[in-house]
């Protein structure tokens, strides 16, 4: 009988853990499959870790990975994917926004032979306006600026076959952007649309700052197009300034007085800003190279009940 792993990253989700495991168990009772749960406690400061330890005592198929500190959602997910032993692995959020009942359909598609079954969130009116708009802007920018296309509303709620996970584990990226990597890996992928539920308990851990960071990270992980854009901008403005020279020379020799201050200060401020932005873009890529060359582990595990793990 096949084994299915369910990976859940959890950061301060004390009120959700028990409920989500319960719902998942209900779902898996309808199937003939074995299941193991791998819950990654991403440095929670509430009772998440304690609850997990207590649950693991009575549920032999529940494993927890406790990080030494908060490493972030993507890294927590990666840790779970690294350690899962199933023939296929399903990942979902701890807050029940991803309905566990959809798993039945995902498993059917997997049994039909699809290697990746991912989900697309249908535009949800319940979600705050700002969140909807920023999320849609995020995918639009990402797709304009990078070479792979990620569909709008695809979060980290998906099923991956063991062979896809094996490839994923060997990628060795320092800061993985999992959504993008899954698309990049290819294989036969199937999409299921769903309406997200609202968060069961607690608050969202993604604030505006974290979302901007994820967006920049997504773009710069998958493409060097921003660098090309910077270079093109440089060419365009150099060309424009060359066209400007005859005008300046003409005015000089004809003795025409040119009003300087306003145009000068505008150009200085504009180009000052532009140069800083471009420098920043280059800086992000250099920073990424710096982090990658250090070759540090993605995460540090303080405690786990997984077999063969330290």
Q: Interface residues with ligand UDP (CB under 6 A)?
A: 9-11, 13, 42, 70, 72-73, 76, 93-95, 97, 204-206
Q: Choose which of 5, 44, 97, 146 interacts with Mg ion (CB under 5 A).
A: 97
Residue 13 or 115 with smaller CB distance to Mg ion: 13
Closest distance of CB 126 from ligand UDP, Å: 12
Residue 114 near which of ligand UDP, Mg ion, none (CB within 5-8 Å, type-dependent):
none
Task: In whole angstroms, give the CA distance from residue 307 to residue 310.
Answer: 9
Residue placing its CB nearer to Mg ion in the complex, 36 or 95? 95
Q: Which is nearer to Mg ion, 97 or 220 (CB)?
A: 97
Nearer to Mg ion, 74 or 220 (CB): 74
Nearest approach, Cβ of 64 to ligand UDP (angstroms)? 13
Here's the x/- map for Mg ion, 73-92, by CB under 5 A: it reads as: --------------------
d(C-alpha 203, C-alpha 193), whole Å: 24
CA gap 229, 233 in Å, rounded: 6
Backbone φ and ψ of 119, nearest 5°: -120, 150
Nearest to 161 by CA among 176, 192, 182: 182
Partner interacting with residue 206 (select from ligand UDP, Mg ion, none; CB below 5-8 Å by kind) = ligand UDP
11 binds, among Mg ion, ligand UDP, none (CB under 5 to 8 A by kind): ligand UDP
User: Smallest distance from the beta carbon of 133 to Mg ion, in angstroms?
Assistant: 17
> Helical H runs in the chain?
17-29, 48-58, 73-83, 103-112, 129-145, 162-169, 178-185, 208-222, 225-254, 261-294
Beta-bridge partner residues of 62: 37
Candidate residues 95, 115, 156, 161; the one interacting with Mg ion per rule CB under 5 A: 95
Residues 106-125 that bind Mg ion (CB under 5 A): none
Encoded tokens for 252: 């000089």
Which of the listed partners (Mg ion, ligand UDP, none) does 30 bind, with a CB threshold of 5 to 8 Å by partner kind?
Answer: none
Site size toward Mg ion, by CB under 5 A: 3
Find tokens 């096949």 and name the residue.
2
Sheet architecture: strand order including 62-67: 189-194, 116-121, 158-161, 88-91, 3-10, 34-41, 62-67, 301-304
**Which neighbouring-strand residues pair with 116?**
160, 189
42 forms part of the interface with Mg ion (CB under 5 A) = no
Q: Is 13 in the site for Mg ion (CB under 5 A)?
A: no
Count Cβ atoms below 10 Å from residue 278 Cβ, excluding itself.
17
Question: Minimum CB separation from ligand UDP for residue 292, in Å?
Answer: 21
By a kind-dependent CB cut-off of 5 to 8 A, residue 14 interacts, out of Mg ion, ligand UDP, none, with none
Minimum distance from residue 137 beta carbon to Mg ion (Å): 18
Candidates 140, 100, 121; CA nearest to 4 is: 100
Specify whether the CB–CB gap between 221 and 177 falls below 8 A.
yes
Report the residue number, 204 or 267, with the smaller CB distance to ligand UDP. 204
Contact between 36 and Mg ion by CB under 5 A: the answer reads no
Q: Which residues bind Mg ion (CB under 5 A)?
A: 93, 95, 97
């Amino acid at each position: 009988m096949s084994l299915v792993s369910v990976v859940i990253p959890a950061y301060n989700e004390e009120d959700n853990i028990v409920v989500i495991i319960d719902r998942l168990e209900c779902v898996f009772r309808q199937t003939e499959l074995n299941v193991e749960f791998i819950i990654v406690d991403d440095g929670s400061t509430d009772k998440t870790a304690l609850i997990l330890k207590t649950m693991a005592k009575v549920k032999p198929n529940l494993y927890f990975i406790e990080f030494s500190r908060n490493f972030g959602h993507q890294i927590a997910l990666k840790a779970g994917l690294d350690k899962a032993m199933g023939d296929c692995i399903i990942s979902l959020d701890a807050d029940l926004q991803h309905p566990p009942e959809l798993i039945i359909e995902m498993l059917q598609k997997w049994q039909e032979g699809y290697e990746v079954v991912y989900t697309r969130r249908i535009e949800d009116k319940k979600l705050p306006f700002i969140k909807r708009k920023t999320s849609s802007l995020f995918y639009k920018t990402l797709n304009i600026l990078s070479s792979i296309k990620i569909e709008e509303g695809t979060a980290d709620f998906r099923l991956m076959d063991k062979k896809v996970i094996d490839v994923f584990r060997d990628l060795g990226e320092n800061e993985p952007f999992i959504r993008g990597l899954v698309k990049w890996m290819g294989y036969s992928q199937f999409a299921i649309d769903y309406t997200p539920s609202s968060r069961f308990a607690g608050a969202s851990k993604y604030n505006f700052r974290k979302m901007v960071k994820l967006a920049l990270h997504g773009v710069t992980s998958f493409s060097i197009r921003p660098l090309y854009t910077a270079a093109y901008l440089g060419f365009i403005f150099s060309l424009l300034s060359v066209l400007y020279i005859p005008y300046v020379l003409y005015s000089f020799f004809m003795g025409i007085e040119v009003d300087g201050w306003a145009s000068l200060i505008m150009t200085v401020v504009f180009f000052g800003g532009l140069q800083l932005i471009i420098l920043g873009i280059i800086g992000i890529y250099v920073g990424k190279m710096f982090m990658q060359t250090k070759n540090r582990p993605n995460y540090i595990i303080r405690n786990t009940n997984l077999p063969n793990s330290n």
